[in-house]
Amino acid sequence: MSVLQQTPVAVPAPAPRKRYRRQDRSGYLFLLPWFAGMLFTIIPFFASLYLAFTDYNLLNPPEWIGLANFREMLADERLMRSLRVTVIYTVVSVPLSLAAALGVAMVLQQGIRGLPVYRAIFYLPSLLGSSVAVVILWRYLFGVDGVINKGLAWFGITGPAWTTDPSHALTTLIILHVWTFGSPMVIFLAGLRQIPAAYYEAAAVDGAGPWRRFRSVTLPLLSPIIFFNLVQSLIASLQTFTQGFVMSGGTGGPADSTLFYNLYLYLRGFTQFDMGYASAMAWVLFVLIALLTAVNFLAARWWVFYDD
């Protein structure tokens, strides 16, 4: 190939260059809506960085206040509580839902009759999980005399006041999140299909038991997909809003126990019109997510394995 490229006889150089130019115009035409849309992305991106250093209530022009918003954040107890709620929610529910997704995907993978039906049953909740109707449903399932407590009473357990007790309100939302494990499950299922059966057969011939085959064949070959699901779920979970809003009637209560970071951002920005403060909050979360993703990508070098 390199020899061919070094012989400057066959094709005169300017010709492909010219054709490239001619495609420029149509390329840009096709991207025209996207370019316009990027204006709605790039300009707000920098504008929000600027607003983070201002005091702005939408009525008066933004006033530059330097780092004051960030200093206020450090002393803001509600903000710290909202950060804690969001982190606990993420750290508990993401691993649980991914484990459930992988577990069920592996059972389904073994070639079972009625696979499409099972897959549909497990996948459906993930399409409904963020809808207001389902959060309302959850509120009543976990009510003081809701179905969950009726079921617990059956076993002689007195259930707590799930939704009104600050130490349990978040648990109900974590359970709701785990209930939506269907979409990572579908991705796992597709990934498991890509692992050649011969690997398992070879491992079995070498005397590897089920656990060993899982650790030495499934996990490494599936690791890029585990990684993808992990990054996606973390980013989505850190941005949770609707669940906390609807569960608490827009307050984040009881006692701020469902005050997600984005819910607090909404309350500050769009009910109190602290637009500058809300922008500063948005940027802090953005930097946190970016850092977390970067750490994930760095850590991935140690455990994510690419076949080729």
Partner 1 sequence: MTTRPWARHVVLCLVGALMMYPLLWLLSSSVKPGATVFTQPGLWPESWDLTNYPAGWVALEHPFSLYLANSLVIVVLSIVGNLISCSLAAYGFARLRFTGRRLFFTLMLGTMMLPGHVLLVPQYVVFAKLGWLNTYYPLLVPNFLATNAFYIFLMVQFMRALPTELDDAARIDGCGPFRTFWKIIMPLSLPAFATTAIFTFISVWNEFFGPLLYLTDSELYTVPLALRQFVDSEGQSAWGQMFAMSFVSLAPVIGFFIAGQKYLVKGIATTGLK
Of residues 274-293, which lie at the interface with partner 1 (CB under 8 A)? 275, 278-279, 282-283, 285-286, 289, 293
Give the nearer residue to partner 1 in terms of CB position, either 96 or 106: 106
Burial readout 27-38 (b: 16 or more C-beta within 10 A, e: otherwise): eeeeeeeeeeee
The answer to whether 38 contacts partner 1 (rule: CB under 8 A) is yes
The answer to whether 44 contacts partner 1 (rule: CB under 8 A) is yes
Give the nearer residue to partner 1 in terms of CB position, either 78 or 212: 212
The answer to whether 57 contacts partner 1 (rule: CB under 8 A) is no
- Candidates 5, 7, 41, 60; binder of partner 1 (CB under 8 A) is 41
The answer to whether 196 contacts partner 1 (rule: CB under 8 A) is no
Give the nearer residue to partner 1 in terms of CB position, either 167 or 293: 293
The answer to whether 215 contacts partner 1 (rule: CB under 8 A) is no
The answer to whether 164 contacts partner 1 (rule: CB under 8 A) is no
Region near partner 1 per CB under 8 A, out of 65-73, 78-86, 91-99, 244-252: 244-252
- Are the C-beta atoms of 254 and 166 separated by less than 8 Å? yes
Region near partner 1 per CB under 8 A, out of 64-72, 86-94, 156-164, 184-192: 184-192
Give the nearer residue to partner 1 in terms of CB position, either 190 or 202: 190
State the Cα–Cα distance between residues 1 and 172, nearest whole angstrom: 62
Min CB(164)–partner 1 separation in Å = 13
The answer to whether 104 contacts partner 1 (rule: CB under 8 A) is yes
Backbone angles phi, psi at 49, to 5 degrees: -65, -40
The answer to whether 270 contacts partner 1 (rule: CB under 8 A) is yes
Min CB(29)–partner 1 separation in Å = 8
The answer to whether 45 contacts partner 1 (rule: CB under 8 A) is yes
Contacts to partner 1 from residues 73-102, by CB under 8 A:
none
Report which residue type is found at 18. Answer: K
What is the phi-psi region of residue 250: left when phi exceeds 0, alpha when psi lies from -120 to 50, beta otherwise?
Answer: left
Other Cβ atoms less than 10 A from the Cβ of 138: the count is: 23
- Are the C-beta atoms of 101 and 177 separated by less than 8 Å? no
Report which residue type is found at 16. Answer: P
Instruction: Determine the size of the site formed for partner 1 (CB under 8 A).
Output: 94
The answer to whether 225 contacts partner 1 (rule: CB under 8 A) is yes
The answer to whether 242 contacts partner 1 (rule: CB under 8 A) is yes
The answer to whether 213 contacts partner 1 (rule: CB under 8 A) is yes
Give the nearer residue to partner 1 in terms of CB position, either 7 or 286: 286
The answer to whether 262 contacts partner 1 (rule: CB under 8 A) is yes
The answer to whether 199 contacts partner 1 (rule: CB under 8 A) is no
Backbone angles phi, psi at 64, to 5 degrees: -65, 120
Contacts to partner 1 from residues 123-142, by CB under 8 A:
123-125, 127-128, 130-134, 136-141
